[in-house]
Amino acid sequence: MTMSKETLIENIRKVPDFPIPGILFYDVTTLFKDPKSLHILSDTMYDMYKEKGITKVIGIESRGFIMGPILATRLNAGFIPIRKPGKLPAETIEESYDKEYGKDTVQIHKDAVDENDIVLIHDDLLATGGTMKAACELVKKLKPKKIYVNFIIELKELNGKALFDEDLEIESVLSL
């Protein structure tokens, strides 16, 4: 493991019993507030995607709204938000998915992506994969050329990658 990844791991705040008892929550906001960690994250993610021809970075509400625009700027790409219902002002399409305690829905503007786009969908954490799977299905409806998926952290023991098609390139900065 590189020194920079060690720095990131050291700077992640671990919050026991959040949001419910028995869960160890990995809080990436401590990476964002530390200038060195933020630079490491930005540089690492840029290096992962600088040769992929990304035209749009799509961030999932809400932590995907932090590194998503930073990465979009570095890649000279646009930034697109995926949000919860009722938050986007223009015409949207949506995808619903099952969560531990019911259903949830995500939306994107209908004109956010087209068939000429190569997109990178970003979120902070891959746990069980439900939110990102819904985001991928949503973006597929807009028929981009290619979709890449990125996380800051993948929790390997939860096997979230198993939810996705094998041909989808999923990368994480850190696997814990």
Annotated active-site positions, please? 63, 100
Residues 44/151, Cβ–Cβ less than 8 Å: no
Burial class of residue 61 in the structure, from the number of CB atoms within 10 Å of its CB (0-12 exposed, 13-18 middle, 19+ buried)? middle
Cα–Cα distance measured from residue 30 to residue 64, given in angstroms and rounded to the nearest whole number? 15
Dmax over Cα atoms in the chain, in whole Å?
A: 45
Residues 56/80, Cβ–Cβ less than 8 Å: yes
DSSP 76: T
106: closest CA among 125, 79, 81?
Answer: 81
Cα–Cα distance measured from residue 136 to residue 131, given in angstroms and rounded to the nearest whole number? 9
CA dihedral 157, 162, 164, 167 (to 10 degrees): 110
